[in-house]
Amino acid sequence: MKRFRFFFLPLVCIFGMALIFTTPSMAEKKKVYKLRMQVLFGPDMMWQYKPFVDFCKDASDGRLIIQPFSGGQLVPDDQMMQACSTGTIDIAGGAGGYWSNAIPLAATEGVLPFALRTITDVNTFYYQRGYLELCREAYAEHNVYYLGPQMVDFAYLMAKEPVRTVNDLKKLKLRAVPNIGKVLGKLGVSAQYFPAGEVYLMISSGQLDGVVYGGSVAAESMSFQEVAPYYMTPSFNPANQNLIMSLKKFNSLPKDLQTILEMATQVENLYLQTVNWNLEFAKRRSMMEKNGLKVVEMDKALVDAMAEKAREFYKDVSKQGPHAKKAVEMMEDYMKEVGYLK
């Protein structure tokens, strides 16, 4: 844990000033709050949330205890937002695409395919362009507090066969999260969502030909390289997730613990971004040596075709409500400003 503390020391110092203005009362200092948190990650990846859990405990002097649970342990992953809304769980580390039917803005929150490209894009869009405040406004209507983004990874395609052209892609049956699935559907590609834990068997049995998932760290944790040994680049988008919690529970906490939760969310976001990118290429090399993984660059014509369909999808999303419309406008303005969209 020491390396986490040294790594985040500058960030902690900056936020430490906030605690001066949120000093708890004597009664609040004695009370211990235990919060149950479920995240999307499987048991083998739960170590990645240790900085969040430890920061909450350490910064609160043991008053804020987070009890972490892996994906599906408490509720199905696609029901985590609703579970926070009703108070069934306190905190969820999820992905907005799972509940975009209930919160249309959430279709943009996971980062629209071929929109934002880099870790810096995601952080800037949330923390400097007003997108975090827009998310909080939309989620509050469902009794959920949006703690902040968790830029966990990038989304890559892995398949049984190499994919370089549009025709190569159209031959495949894929697993993908809803946003990416809808973009691929506009290209005539069969792409449906299935729980990640079912995908290995579905590929090995021939029900699927590939999967759009996270980067090499996440892929190796699911052993996808054993059944889908072709790893296509570039990525579809940053695989941005979130930390959300029961709005009622958040409002019931002392102000200093609310601040600590928001601080811990930013610490965890920075950790996830850097740890996964740091391991990305080492894991690729490991899978190349052990499993014969082959990295394949998709043709520019294919990437351009997917980006064009993605822009059609943005228009579809913008029609789903005022928050979604505003989010798409904000994202397109940013893309134009940095040169991603002409």
DSSP string, 184-216: HHHTT-EEE---HHHHHHHHHTTS-SEEEE--H
Residues 76, 212 within the same domain = no
E strand segments, 156-303: 156-159, 173-175, 190-192, 210-213, 230-233, 238-246, 294-297
Residues 102, 186 within the same domain = no
The pLDDT of residue 342 is 80
Residues 124, 16 within the same domain = yes
The pLDDT of residue 95 is 87
Residues 69, 201 within the same domain = no
Domain count, the chain: 2
CATH of residue 97's domain is 3.40.190.170
Residues 120, 248 within the same domain = yes
The pLDDT of residue 114 is 81
pTM given for the model = 0.82
Residues 70, 212 within the same domain = no
Residues 141, 165 within the same domain = no
Instruction: Retrieve residue 179's tokens.
Output: 């946003």
Beta bridge partner(s), residue 149 = 242
- The full length of the chain comes to 342
Task: Please identify every stretch of the chain with a pLDDT value under 50, giving residue numbers as ranges.
Answer: 1-7
Angstrom distance (rounded) from CA 321 to CA 325: 6
Residues 90, 197 within the same domain = no
Residues 161, 250 within the same domain = no
Residues 167, 141 within the same domain = no
Burial (0-12, 13-18, 19+ Cβ within 10 Å), 342: exposed
CATH of residue 217's domain is 3.40.190.10
Indicate the pairing of strand 144-154 with strand 238-246: antiparallel
CB 155 within 8 A of CB 237: yes
Q: Is the Cα dihedral 12, 14, 135, 260 positive or negative? A: positive
Residue 241: CB atoms within 10 Å? 27
Q: How far is CA 297 from CA 21, 157, 174, 181, 216, in A?
A: 51, 11, 18, 20, 15
Residues 100, 230 within the same domain = no
| Bond prior to 104 in cis (omega within 30° of 0) | no
294 is in which domain, residue-wise? 156-237+282-319+327-338
The pLDDT of residue 197 is 86
Residues 53, 200 within the same domain = no
